[in-house]
Structure 1
Amino acid sequence: MFRILFYLVVVFLLGLGFAWLAERPGDLVVTFAGYRYEVSLMVAAVAIVAIVAAVMILWWLIRSIWTSPYAVARYFRVRRRDRGYQALSTGMIAAGAGDGGLARRMSQQAAKLISSDQEPLIHLLDAQAALLDGDRQAARDKFTAMLDDPEMRLLGLRGLYLEAERMGEREVARHYAERAVEDAPQLDWAVNATLDGKTAEGDWDGALALLGSRKPSGKDARESVTDRRAVLLTAKALEVLDADPQAARTAAMEAHKLRPDFVPAAVTAARALFRQNELRKGSKVLETVWKKEPHPEIAEAYIHARPGDSTQDRLARAKKLQSLKRNNVESALIVGRAALDAGEFKLARESCEAAARLGPRESVYLLMADIEEAETGDQGRVRQWLAKALRAPRDPAWVADGYVADRWAPISPVTGKLDAFEWRMPMERLAQVVEGDEDFSPAPAIAAPEGAEEAREPDETAPDPVVIEAEPVEAEKPKDAKPEEKAADTQARSQKPAPQAKPVPVNGLKTDPSSKDEPVKPPLPDDPGVDPDDKNGSTQSPFRLF
């Protein structure tokens, strides 16, 4: 754009100059070699401009001829480079699509057209092609060769880390991750792998130092770092709680400030404060978390803050927790347990019934069974509550990767992942009934109502249901019949076959007419599976390719 404007300005100035000369006539006289040349001023100006233009054109021709070999070589070099980058791009796309053959061909073509020293991506394409071809050793050699190149060092470490993870070499993978963290602390995969290794060894200080070296940019990344730091501080506090309560208190209180609703941090901080005889401050921490998230561990720590308290003191503290969070299952349960320990069965029963209305679950009915056994000793009612507990939903627990634990832990025992445990209801286990392996254990007895003599137990020896056949109804003989007539009638009835009657279904079971002794039980419905003759595909797959 500026060049065009410059040319326009030059042309304008030339036109303006020629117009100025045309308005001012004059002559130009030149004497050369005894000759005298006289021309007008306009002609002289045109001649001078023509000579300058000719000189410039001549110089351009000479320069073009002189530099033509270099220009031709540069043209072919640029064309070769463009073809190489096109092959490299096609190979990377083929590697991403999983086409190993095309990726290998494009890698070889790109290596011929472009120098690998000038373009390091050729090494990556070669390694990806080797992985797609199944040549793992060649790929590892390529990644190892990348370690010598400063630009490809992190890429090589990443490739070697993934290969070590694939082969199950956790120590080797961790070694490569630690080397990557030294060069680039911002790499998430390297930090996470190194962090998992340190937490598996219990090196909480090293894990905290590694996490502190990170500088997250986004809001989600900052929250993730904060949550993991709170978990590490809690784990450190739990480890030194018995040996150094002061250090445990410092770490747990910092974790509580980072995550105010994190139950393990609050419980650990409160226990450390209780050991230092700071009962009021520790109780305040637990009360604050209880208002946000009622948890049985908080209640347990709060009630047993002083080991020497009586059962009435513990009941009073349980009532105080209930006043902070009313209409809550945990509040009702903790009061029920404390009342049971104190011998106040009426209050315990009322609290347990309130918990059953708010959220019926296993612990509610188990507590009711304990109350029933302690107060009345009625084993029938106890078994009734136990039977309800078996069918009730399970209580929430600490769950990580399908593993249910009684206590919180900083890492998962299955995968070793940090901050994997969460407080939720475990997955219900569905019982599978296998044909021929039914459970014939007796059902629990049901308590008899008032006025009944005793509870009825299920009869294990009861015979199988039988078919009741209809008997023909004979006319009743008069009472004054003679003995001879009675004897003849009896003999006729014994010789005359009884008419066949349709079997009557008993207990909902259909019977076979050909059999009079035993009924035929309906077979269990089998899995219908897929009809091989059904060509319309009545059972469709839940997955779709497109």
Structure 2
Amino acid sequence: MIRILFFILLVLALALGFAWLADRPGELSLTWQGQLIEMSLMRAASILISLIALVLITIWLVRAIWLSPQTVTRYFRARKRDRGYQALSTGLIAAGAGDAALARKMVSRTRSLIRVDQEPLIHLLEAQTALIEGRHDDARRKFEQMADDPETRELGLRGLYLEAKRLGAHEAARQFAERAAEKAPHLAWATLATLDDRSQAGRWDEALRLLDQSRSANVLDKKDANRKKAVLLTARAMSNLEADPKSARDDALAALKLEERLVPAALIAAKALFREDNLRKGASTLEKVWKLEPHPEIAGLYVRARGGDSALDRLKRAKRLETLRGNNAVSLATVAEAALDARELDLARQKAEAAARLAPTESIFMLLADIEEADTGDEGRIRHWMAQALRSPRDPAWTADGVISPSWLPVSPVSGRLDAFEWKAPPTQLSATTEEDRPDADAAIRSLPPVATAIPAAAAEPPEPAEAEAPAAPAEAETPIELPERKEETARPESKEPVGDEEPSPFFGRRPDDPGVRASAAGDGDKTNFRLF
């Protein structure tokens, strides 16, 4: 474009010059070697310009003839290079598609057309061809050559990193990732791999420094970077909680500013504040997270924030959590547990049954069994709730890569991945696996009679005439012939149908509050009656 503009300006200047000379005519006289040459000024200017153009054309022709061998050589070299790049492109596509034969053919053709020191992608083509052919040792050697070249250092380090991960050499993979992260912090794979390795080793300060570098290089999304930094701050706070509670408190609060739903950060911050006797701020921190993410560990720490509180005080704090997040299974279960400790059994039963209707899990039914044991002590009702617990889904737990941990951990013990633990139900269900098999909380609650009417059946019904006459027949019991007849009479009541106003047995073959009558001789009826009372 600049050349075209320059040419147009030159032509315009010549045109203006000739127009200027045409408007000002004149004669030019030249005496040379006794000869007088006279011509007009316009003619003289035209001859001068023509001579200059002739000289330039002559120089160009001479130069073209003189440099023609080099021009021809350059032309054939460029054509050869174009063919080589075409072969290289075809080889890379074939290697990516898994065509080992075509890739190997393109490797040899590319090497014959392009010098290796001029095009480093030839090493990549050779390495990829060796990988799809299963020659991993040759591929590693090629990646090592690429790692030594500044132009292909990152590419070679990534290849070595992937090979080390494939072989399970985690230490070598860590070193390759750290080299790549130091040379190029903008590489996401190197940053994340190094971050996981430093986190797995517990080097939280180095991990935070690397994360800050990656944030400045815009490697990670802002939301993901904030989440990872919050997890790292929480992990450092966890490690410093015993030795330096103040530092742990600051790190945990900083983590909550980045991720307000991070339950472990809230727990550590509250524990550190409680150790400083700052109960108000610690409770406020737990309440903020509780409103967003109700969690049993938050409830447990909040209710037992002060060691000297009575059971009624703990119940009041549990009710406070319920007001902050009502109609929630965790809130109701927390109030039920606190009410059980405070011996307010009616309230405990009410809240536990409401929690079972919202989330029928194993712990809720076990809590109902504990309430039943403390309230009535009825073995039948207790077994009923424990049977429901066996069929219920398991409670959520801290789970990562199929591993269940009793407490939150910043790194997965299986894969070493940062922020891998989630609060969810374990993947392996040992109880109910389908929706049809899971218990119905309403049906389980309705199947039991009210606690006020749960009177033992043997105490409410008068004894049968056969049992009343049992003491008068001891002599008949000694007769061996009549012994089978008494066995049949004893076994007959187990199979008879309910008559009159008798209610059918809701579960376990008898009423929930009826321990049953042992099948014994008629002469033992008095002992049975004394034991019922």
So what's the TM-score if we normalise by structure 1? 0.75
How big is each residue's C-alpha offset from its partner over 1:279-327, in whole Å with a ceiling of 9 and x where there is no partner? 1111111111111111110000011111222111111111111121112
Which residue is 1:544 aligned to? Answer: none
- 5 Å-filtered alignment, 1:421-436, equals 421-427=421-427, 429=429
Q: Deviations over 1:332-387 (max 9, x none)?
A: 11000000011110110111122223333322222111111110011111121222
Indicate the larger mover: 334-343 or 6-15.
6-15
Moved more, 182-191 or 345-354: 182-191
Q: Structure 2 counterpart of 1:424, which letter?
A: K
Matched residues in 1 for 2:233 and 2:196: separation? 15
Point out the more displaced range, 344-353 or 49-58. 49-58
1:421-500 equivalences in 2 (<5 Å) = 421-427=421-427, 429=429, 453=457
Distance 1:20 1:277, change over 3 A: closer
Contact 2:214 2:220 in 1 (8 A): no
Shift of 1:203: 2.6
The 5 Å alignment of 1:121-270 reads 121-216=121-216, 218=218, 221-270=221-270
Alignment partner, residue 408 of structure 2: 408
1:139 Cα deviation after fit: 0.8
Q: CA deviation at 1:46?
A: 4.1
**Residue 369 of structure 2 is aligned to residue 369 of structure 1:** yes
Q: Is the 8 A contact 2:188 2:220 kept in 1?
A: no
Mark the CA change 1:273 to 1:105 in structure 2 (over 3 Å): closer, same or farther. same
Contact 2:337–2:367, Cα closer than 8 Å, also in 1: yes
Amino acid at match of 1:344: E
**Alpha-carbon shift at residue 424 of structure 1 (Å):** 2.1
Q: Secondary structure at the match of 1:151?
A: helix
Q: How far apart, in 1, do the equivalents of 2:22 and 2:313 lie?
A: 120
One-letter amino acid of the counterpart of residue 90, structure 2: T
2:27 touches 2:39 (CA, 8 Å); kept in 1?
yes
Distance 2:211 2:219 in 1: 16
1:399 is displaced (CA, Å) by 1.8
Residue number in structure 1 paired with 2:338: 338
Letter in 2 for 1:150: P
Measure, in 1, the Cα distance between the counterparts of 2:150 and 2:129: 22
Give the AA of the match of 1:74: R
Between 77-86 and 366-375, the greater mean CA deviation after superposition? 77-86
Q: 1:380 to 1:42 in 2, by over 3 A?
A: same
CA contact 1:394–1:425 (8 Å) conserved in 2:
yes
Counterpart residue type for residue 387 of structure 1: A
Q: Deviations over 1:215-255 (max 9, x none)?
A: 34559623222212221222222233233323322322222
SS of equivalent to 2:61:
helix
1:513 alignment partner in structure 2: none
Change (3 A) 1:10 1:281: closer
SS of the residue aligned with 1:399?
Answer: strand
1:102 matched to which residue of 2? 102
1:461-495 Cα deviation digits (max 9, x unpaired):
99xxxxxxxxxxxxxxxxxxxxxxxxxxxxxxxxx
Question: Whole-Å Cα distance in 1 between the matches of residues 354 and 187 of structure 2?
Answer: 52
CA–CA distance in structure 1, aligned partners of residues 431 and 337 of structure 2: 31
Root-mean-square deviation (Å): 3.0
SS in 1 for 2:221: helix
Contact 2:215–2:225 (CA<8 Å) still a contact in 1? no
| Equivalent position SS for 2:417 | coil
Structure-2 residue corresponding to 1:62: 62
Partner secondary structure for residue 415 of structure 1: coil
In the alignment, is the contact (CA less than 8 A) between 1:380 and 1:447 conserved in 2?
no
- Percent of matched pairs sharing the same residue: 55
- The secondary structure found in structure 2 opposite 1:337 is helix
- CA distance in 1 between partners of 2:404 and 2:115 (Å): 57
Q: Residue 249 of structure 1 contacts residue 269 of structure 1 at CA under 8 Å; is this kept in 2?
A: yes
Alpha-carbon distance in 1 for matches of 2:5, 2:235: 72
Counterpart of 1:387?
387
Indicate the SS of the match to 1:157.
helix
Structure 1 residue 175, shift from structure 2 partner: 1.6
CA distance in 1, matches of 2:258, 2:160: 36
Aligned partners of 1:127 and 1:138 also within 8 Å: yes
Q: State the Cα distance separating 1:161 from its structure 2 match.
A: 1.1
Inter-CA distance 275–49: structure 2 relative to 1 (3 Å threshold): closer
Residue 404 of structure 2 aligns to a residue whose secondary structure is strand
Paired with 2:197 and 2:171, the residues of 1 have a C-alpha distance of 8
User: In structure 1, the residue corresponding to 2:398 is in which secondary structure?
Assistant: strand
Q: Which amino acid aligns with 2:196?
A: D
- Deviations 1:195-226 (CA, angstroms, capped at 9, x unpaired): 22222222333323332333345596232222
Alignment of 1:252-331 (within 5 A): 252-331=252-331
Q: 1:128 to 1:26 in 2, by over 3 A?
A: same
CA–CA separation in structure 2 for the residues paired with 1:132 and 1:247: 52
Structure-2 residue corresponding to 1:93: 93
Partner of residue 511, structure 1: none
> SS at the partner of 2:151?
coil
User: How many equivalent pairs are there?
Assistant: 446
Residue 214 of structure 1 aligns to a residue whose secondary structure is helix
Contact 2:187 2:219 in 1 (8 A): no
Report SS of the residue matched to 1:152.
Answer: helix
Distance 1:300 1:52, change over 3 A: same
Offset of residue 111 of structure 1: 2.3
Counting only pairs closer than 5 Å after superposition, residues 525-536 of structure 1 correspond to structure 2 as: none
Gap regions ≥5 residues in structure 1 = 434-443, 456-460, 463-546
Q: Deviations over 1:476-515 (max 9, x none)?
A: xxxxxxxxxxxxxxxxxxxxxxxxxxxxxxxxxxxxxxxx
Q: Give the deviation of 1:426 after TM superposition.
A: 2.9
Cα deviation code 1:58-84 (max 9, x no counterpart): 222112111112211221222222222
- Label 1:418 to 1:48 Cα distance change in 2 as closer, same or farther (>3 A): closer
Structure 2 gap ranges (5+): 434-443, 460-490, 493-533
Q: Give the match for residue 521 of structure 2.
A: none
Q: Is the 8 A contact 2:390 2:431 kept in 1?
A: no
Deviation at 1:189, TM superposition (A): 1.9
Higher RCO (CA < 8 A, seq sep 6+): 2
Distance 1:2 1:163 in 2: 52
Give the 3-state SS of the residue equivalent to 1:147 in structure 2.
helix
Query: Which region of structure 1 is more displaced relative to structure 2, 281-290 or 40-49?
Result: 40-49
- Of the structure 1 ranges 138-147 and 175-184, higher mean CA displacement relative to structure 2 is found in 175-184
Tell me the SS of whatever aligns to 1:213. Answer: helix
Alpha-carbon spacing, 1:23–1:155, altered in 2? closer, same or farther (3 Å): closer
Say which SS state the counterpart of residue 404 (structure 1) adopts: strand
Q: Secondary structure at the match of 1:63?
A: helix
* Match of residue 468 from structure 1: none
CA 164–34 in structure 1, closer or farther in 2 if over 3 Å, else same: same
Greater CA drift, 18-27 or 215-224: 18-27
Q: Distance in 2 between matches of 1:182 and 1:411?
A: 23
| Cα distance, 1:43 vs structure 2 | 4.6
Asked whether the equivalents of residues 84 and 109 of structure 2 are also in contact (C-alpha less than 8 Å), the reply is yes
Q: Contact 1:195–1:207 at 8 Å: present in 2 too?
A: yes
Aligned 8 A contact 2:394 2:429 in 1: no
Give distance in 2, aligned partners of 1:148 and 1:114.
Answer: 21
- 1:7-33 residue CA offsets vs partner (Å, 9 max, x unmatched): 445445545555666666665544444
